[in-house]
Amino acid sequence: MSKKDGQPIRVALLGCGTVGSEVARLLTEQAGELAARAGAPVEIVGIAVRRPDKHPELPQDLLTSDAASLVVSENVDVIVELVGGIEPVREWLLAGLKAGKSVVTANKALLADHSAELFEAADASGVDLYFEASVAGAIPLLRPLRESLAGDRITRVMGIVNGTTNFILSAMDETGAGYSETLDEASRLGYAEADPTADVDGYDAASKAAILASLSFHTRVTASDVHREGIADVTASDISAARLLGRAVKLLAICERVRDDNGVESVSVRVHPVMIPLSHQLARVNGAFNAVYVEADAAGELMFYGQGAGGAPTASAVLGDLVAVARNMVGGGRGPRESAHAALPVRPMGQTPTRYHVSLDVADIAGVLAQVAQVFADHGVSIAAVRQRDRHSTASLVVITHLAPDAALQSTVDEIAKLDVVHEVVSVMRVEGED
């Protein structure tokens, strides 16, 4: 569907909470500037909310509870979806795309699991599907990955993409407090939801990792392909162990291009806590900020930093997409389509090369290191560094490994824990950012 200069671009807004109300506000306040940039006025013609009577602040004639009808209305050009979740949003958007409406959405869960069918529907109708706000809020990230780096080979993406968990880990690092009390404090301050599961168990980050990996590696990756570990098991001991080694603990979404011994490529996509050196860009990203670090063959190292959530920041990303859709309608073009030509296999976590930090309380007797080192050797895991320290009747032993298959590292740790000379496994965590 193309528009002549001057004809308004008509927007249906689905959902009008924190982000939606900011989108509506900015569309009104900046109407003139946006029209100049888009090449046509951009106007909201309908707002679907569950309970219209709960929104006295909105123009009443635009409100409806019937999203299913709004998305296929003849008067709508673009659907801006800010409801979240999978059903019934998936059906609405598919219906809208089939009816020739472009879609702008911030819905990470939907994109992570159903982008293929959404892209197919958009393609069949020749309309756009944009979703910059679905990952890292205001940070321009997906457009750079899809467009700026389209001529490069991305080899790795590592991101702090969940503000709640980064806030909690930063606070644990500052205060020395444990996970549970810090989570409670984050809830009190409004940095964690009443039900924090999606954040702290890594589901939110896993959806984002799936989206990032799909775009970076031109491969379909869904949330179920993502190895996921949250931060609930991160202890004050982990944090202090990291500090002792000049490292910080972060929950990262990691997407890597991995090549096996035969040169066959696959992708590893995972979310888990890691220790990264304090000298790494990502280590200094504190509080609720997001940051994504990208490595590409030609570009080298890049980092993108900014606010990952919040009404106005997320609205900024939504409006950027909306202007792109409008420009395409006015100019007769199309945004980027799905790029899944590489179709790389996803490597299971057990076969993914990782590095471990293992911190042990061990008996203060001769030969302990030899016993522990033998277990690593038995599993084919090469040790990069060891630190020993005496403490009264026990000693502390810290081991950092070279890269080895994750499963080998896991079984090494399991076996070490059973050694008589090992009193306690104090901290086990993967290490990133220094190979």
* Chain residues that interact with its own copies, rule: CB under 8 A: 22, 26, 30, 33-34, 36-38, 132, 138-140, 143-144, 147-153, 218, 281, 284, 296-307, 310, 312-313, 315-324, 327-328, 331-334, 336, 339, 341-342
Nearer to its own copies (CB atom), residue 32 or residue 56? 32
User: β-pairing, 289-296 with 353-363?
Assistant: unpaired
**Rounded Cα distance, 234 and 179, in Å:** 7
Structure tokens at 176: 């020395």
CA distances from 289 to 110, 163, 186 (A): 23, 6, 14
How many helices (H) and strands (E) would you count in the chain? 14, 17
Of 3, 101, 108, 208, which one is the catalytic site residue? 208
Tell me, rounded to whole angstroms, the distance of Cα 313 from its chain centroid: 16
CB of 301 to its own copies, least distance (A): 6
Nearer to its own copies (CB atom), residue 111 or residue 400? 111
**Rounded Cα distance, 41 and 32, in Å:** 8
CB of 404 to its own copies, least distance (A): 30
Nearer to its own copies (CB atom), residue 52 or residue 100? 100
Nearer to its own copies (CB atom), residue 302 or residue 413? 302
CB of 347 to its own copies, least distance (A): 20
Nearer to its own copies (CB atom), residue 424 or residue 434? 434
Contacts by 362-366, CB closer than 8 A, 24 or more apart: 362/394, 362/395, 362/396, 362/397, 362/421, 362/422, 362/423, 363/393, 363/394, 363/395, 363/420, 363/421, 363/422, 363/423, 364/390, 364/391, 364/392, 364/393, 364/394, 364/395, 365/421
Other Cβ atoms less than 10 A from the Cβ of 334: the count is 15
CB of 428 to its own copies, least distance (A): 31
Give catalytic status of residue 208 as yes or no: yes
CB of 216 to its own copies, least distance (A): 12
Active site residues: 208
